[in-house]
Structure 1
Amino acid sequence: MATDFSPEILDQLLAGGSLKPEDLAGEDGLFRRLKKALLERALGAELTHHLGYEKGDPAGRGSGNSRNGTSSKALLTDDGEIEIEVPRDRAGTFEPVIVAKGQTRFDGFDEKIISLYGRGMTVREIQGHLAELYGTEVSPDLISKVTDAILDEVREWQSRPLEAIYPVVFFDALRVKIRDEGMVKNKAVYVVLGITASGEKDVLGLWIEQTEGAKFWLKVMNDLRNRGVAGSRKTRRATRSGSMSSASSG
């Protein structure tokens, strides 16, 4: 059941709450957080592939090489600098691929990163995206292992618990290019942004769909409810012309 908020508070939240570029691509935006998490998962999977055994697997005993913590690395991206933790091995033979030794930039991949986290991507589409991210010939086994690690990361983000009440919720859409059955297609990534009672913004989820309709939005609403959202006082969504329309919800 939705909590009652005064019209004045709702007006303040609406005035400052719309989805802005910096919410996704700013210094504290979603892209940077997702990029860091994805790269660290991929690098961890690369080290697992290099060592030949999973972390904690008894098969690694006596193998002659093992994990040896991480080292920090600064990367310049489209959204500014991020710091990632790169895993190391004791023998010093691990050569990262997705972020190579000496590499200082990781840019031009925002569309791919954001679409990887959207619900609606098939495993094949994710593998295709990862192959493009690597941009070099890597073994199918490595891509498979990285895909498994990325799927774990993505599912954790997609299913994370949410707050029960968001006084204001915004719906918007981004157009991204996604490789589908060997062809690059434009698809919509629908973004749901929640505003908390204290005015903080939280991207609640990303969904990829060819066309929107009642069935799609029912799926989105059910997902939000399953993750703990009980209601909102105001919802806003972008119209086809790009202007905003608003409605009350309980």
Structure 2
Amino acid sequence: MSTELKTTTEQSETVDLRTGEVLPAPPNITAVAEQLVAAARGQGIELTGPNGLLTGLTRQVLQSALEAELTEHLGYDPGDRVGKQTPNSRNGSTPKTVRTEIGDLTIQVPRDRAGTFAPVVVPKHQRRIAGFDEAVISLYAKGMTTGDIAKHLSDLYGSDVSHDLVSTVTDKVLGDMQEWQARPLDLVYPVVLIDALVIKVRDGQVANRPVYVAVGIDLEGHRDVLGLWMGPTGGEGAKQRMNMLTELRNRGVADVCIVCRDGLKSLPDAITAIWPLATVQQCVVHLVRNSLRYASKKYWSKITGQLREVYTAPTIAAAEARFAEFAEQWRSLYPAMTQMWESAWGEFVPFLKFPPEIRRLIYTTNGIESLNARFRQATRRRGHFPNEQATMKVLYLTVLERRPNRTNPTGQIASWKAIPNTLSITYGDRLGIN
């Protein structure tokens, strides 16, 4: 016995410890694959395509898996006389075409007489094997239209893929989107950034619709998209903004220390109504951009340079001095520009109270500009959307499609470790930092 076991061990065989039976070693998959490829080429068989080697192997694997599932369900092998003694038995098969990563395959799904067999490999009523839906959703999130996706997949799989099929697949995310939009949020956020972008949507006729985006920075220094909301046609929608903030509070956000906003009108009143203790910070970048709308292009470089001295000043007093010089030079030529800054001054200066690492965090909504850039990339090719639901579906999928950052794999904001303690000096125990 010992000699026999030694021999089988040298042949890389294994022993069943329960029965002592010597079992043959599993085949060398690489060697088998090389033999199959060599044989296929020798016989002029293509590796891919409807009659290719890979297609045939995939069909055989699926077929064998289905037969094995039925055997396990019935409790006996095909042809075993034991089956005649059981109340259920095999009952032929039904052809079924399924769509896989390599194209359409027709398989024979075995049946049982009792009709209780429910295959797992290829479930009933399912005609797409895992991977197809994921590919469709990924392409949709990257900005491809249903027509683009249908053509791409038709070329890839060698079979027709309809627009309706693509829409059906992407509609599967609607339930997940609703759950995501209603998910509970943290009790407090040190910083929340609120911005908006404009997207063309057909509502009877094509019109510009604002989409509001809220991004929260949590106590661990991670950015999280808190939600997306579409506003009404032809206006900013003060009621919609109040509803947006109320929804965030109802989802658990009891307090926010700093809210950095873009130029949305009436938003400060809505913020203080929902979070009375919040500091409202006007986005400095938006202020600078809006300033250039009032000025001739030949002065842009000079104006931006002088404004940079204002918002990079070391103290509020220094910023006031720099702005006084700026206003004295430009008030007579561009009174509306200087008046805009004077009106926004109360919401411009809060960030000047903090050290540089926090200033960079809150002085602008550019913290979500990379997200907005991805939104624009995903919506640009479409021109306009047929309805609000289609719009929000694409934006939601874009949010989910997180892109890895090799320089910052954890996603934590740089220099975050020093920020919470600095914020706690201003906001005390509101942050819950011990």
Q: TM-score, normalised by structure 1?
A: 0.45
Q: Which has the larger share of helix?
A: 2
Q: Which has the larger share of strand?
A: 1
Choose between structure 1 and 2 for higher RCO, CA contacts under 8 A separated by at least 6 residues. 1
Q: TM-score, normalised by structure 2?
A: 0.28
Look at both structures and tell me which one has the larger radius of gyration over its CA atoms. 2
